[in-house]
Structure 1
Amino acid sequence: MNQDRRQFWALYFTRFAEGFGFITLVTLLPYYINTLQPTDTTVLGLTISAGLIVGLYTTGFTFAQTVAVIPLAWAGDRFDKRTVLLAVLGAGAGVYALFPVVDSSASFILIRALQGVIITGAGLMSLSLVGQIAATGTRANFIGKSNAAYFAASIVGSLSAGALYEAFGFGPIFAIIVCITIVAWLAVGRYLEADETRVYGFPFSELALNSRILTLSSFRLQYAFSVTLVRTWIPIFAGVSAAQGGLAYGGLAVALTVVAEKFTNMCCQPFTGRLSDGYGRALFIFAGGGAYGLIALGVPFSSAIGAALSLPSSIVVSLPDVLVGASLPAVVSAETIPAQLTLLGDVSPAFFPLIALSGLLGIADSFREPASMALFADEGTEEGGVAASFGIRDLVWRPGSVIAPLLGGWLMYEVGMESVFFVGGAFALTGAISFLIILIWLHGRRALIQW
Structure 2
Amino acid sequence: MTVPERRQLQTLFFTRFANSYGLVTLLTLLSEYIDLLDPEGLLLGMFAAGLTLAQAGTVVPVAYLGDRFDKRTLLLGGLGLATVVYGLFPLVGSSWGFVFVRGLQGVATTIVGLLGLALVGQLAREDDRGNTIGTSNAWRFAASIGGALSAGLLYDAFGFGVVFGVLAAICGLAFLAVLAWVEPDETTTSGFALTDLALNRRILTITSFRAQYAVAVTLVRTWVPIFAGVAAARGGLGYNAAVNGATAVAVVIAAEKFTNMLCQPYTGTLSDRAGRAQFVFAGGLCYGLVALLVPSAPAVGAGLGLPATFPFLGNLSPAFLPLVALNGLLGVADSIREPASMALFADEGTGTGVASSFGVRDLVWRPGSVLAPLAGGWLTTNVGMAWVFYLGAGAAFTGVAAFAGILTYRYGVTGLAEW
2:346 is matched by which residue type in structure 1? A
Structure 1, residues 285-338: CA drift from partner, whole Å, max 9, x if none? 000001111111222333443455x3323356xxxxxxxxxxxxxxxxxxxxxx
1:345 aligns with 2:324: no
CA distance in 2, matches of 1:420, 1:30: 16
1:160 aligns with 2:160: no
Post-superposition shift, 1:74? 0.5
| Conserved 8 A contact 2:288-2:396 | yes
Partner-residue secondary structure (3-state), 1:196? coil
Partner-residue secondary structure (3-state), 2:315? strand
Q: Which residue of 2 aligns with 1:254?
A: 249
Pick closer, same or farther for the CA change 1:80–1:436 going to 2, 3 Å. same
Structure 1, residues 374-429: CA drift from partner, whole Å, max 9, x if none? 101111115x1111111111111112112112223333444444333222212111
CA distance in 2, matches of 1:246, 1:144: 33
1:17 aligns with 2:11: no
**1:441 aligned to which of 397, 409, 413:** 409
Q: Work out the percentage of aligned pairs sharing the same amino acid.
A: 57
Q: Which residue of 1 aligns with 2:336?
A: 367
CA distance in 2, matches of 1:179, 1:232: 25
Q: Which residue of 1 aligns with 2:377?
A: 409
**2:273 aligned to which of 249, 264, 278:** 278
**1:376 aligned to which of 345, 355, 359:** 345
Post-superposition shift, 1:224? 1.0
Post-superposition shift, 1:113? 2.9
Structure 1, residues 317-361: CA drift from partner, whole Å, max 9, x if none? xxxxxxxxxxxxxxxxxxxxxxxx68541422x333222221111
Post-superposition shift, 1:430? 1.5
Pick closer, same or farther for the CA change 1:240–1:34 going to 2, 3 Å. closer
Q: Which residue of 1 aligns with 2:306?
A: 312
**2:296 aligned to which of 285, 292, 301:** 301
Superposed counterparts of 1:425-436, under 5 Å: 425-436=393-404
CA distance in 2, matches of 1:233, 1:25: 13
1:22 is matched by which residue type in structure 2? L
CA distance in 2, matches of 1:30, 1:241: 9
1:355 aligns with 2:320: no
Pick closer, same or farther for the CA change 1:29–1:380 going to 2, 3 Å. same
Structure 1, residues 46-99: CA drift from partner, whole Å, max 9, x if none? xxx998777655544332211111111101101121222122223333333444
Q: Which residue of 2 aligns with 1:65?
A: 55
Q: Which residue of 2 aligns with 1:324?
A: none
CA distance in 2, matches of 1:103, 1:246: 24
Deviates more, 1:108-117 or 1:265-274: 108-117
Paired residue total: 412
CA distance in 2, matches of 1:233, 1:55: 11
Structure 1, residues 21-43: CA drift from partner, whole Å, max 9, x if none? 223334445666788x69xxxxx
CA distance in 1, matches of 2:40, 2:193: 42
**Unmatched segments (≥5 aa) in structure 1:** 39-48, 317-340
Partner-residue secondary structure (3-state), 1:230? helix
Higher helix share: 2
| Conserved 8 A contact 2:133-2:342 | yes
1:222 is matched by which residue type in structure 2? Q
Q: Which residue of 2 aligns with 1:326?
A: none
Post-superposition shift, 1:256? 2.4
Q: Which residue of 2 aligns with 1:204?
A: 194
CA distance in 1, matches of 2:41, 2:283: 37
CA distance in 2, matches of 1:214, 1:197: 25
Pick closer, same or farther for the CA change 1:346–1:26 going to 2, 3 Å. closer
Q: Which residue of 2 aligns with 1:418?
A: 386
Q: Between Structure 1 and Structure 2, whose CA radius of gyration is higher?
A: 1
| Conserved 8 A contact 2:28-2:250 | no
Q: TM-score, normalised by structure 2?
A: 0.88
Q: Which residue of 1 aligns with 2:73?
A: 83
Q: Which residue of 2 aligns with 1:391?
A: 359
Deviates more, 1:111-120 or 1:68-77: 111-120
CA distance in 2, matches of 1:94, 1:346: 36
RMSD of equivalent CA atoms:
2.9
Partner-residue secondary structure (3-state), 1:152? helix
Post-superposition shift, 1:280? 1.1
CA distance in 2, matches of 1:76, 1:386: 9
Pick closer, same or farther for the CA change 1:434–1:10 going to 2, 3 Å. same
Q: Which residue of 2 aligns with 1:335?
A: none
**Unmatched segments (≥5 aa) in structure 2:** none
Pick closer, same or farther for the CA change 1:4–1:421 going to 2, 3 Å. same
Deviates more, 1:125-134 or 1:142-151: 142-151
Partner-residue secondary structure (3-state), 1:200? coil
1:279 is matched by which residue type in structure 2? A
1:400 aligns with 2:368: yes
Post-superposition shift, 1:15? 0.5
Q: Which residue of 1 aligns with 2:137?
A: 147
2:328 is matched by which residue type in structure 1? G
Post-superposition shift, 1:101? 5.3
Structure 1, residues 104-158: CA drift from partner, whole Å, max 9, x if none? 7776554433322110000000100111110112112111111121222222222
Post-superposition shift, 1:246? 4.1
Partner-residue secondary structure (3-state), 1:197? coil
| Conserved 8 A contact 2:131-2:272 | yes
Post-superposition shift, 1:235? 2.8
CA distance in 2, matches of 1:301, 1:61: 29
CA distance in 1, matches of 2:234, 2:88: 38
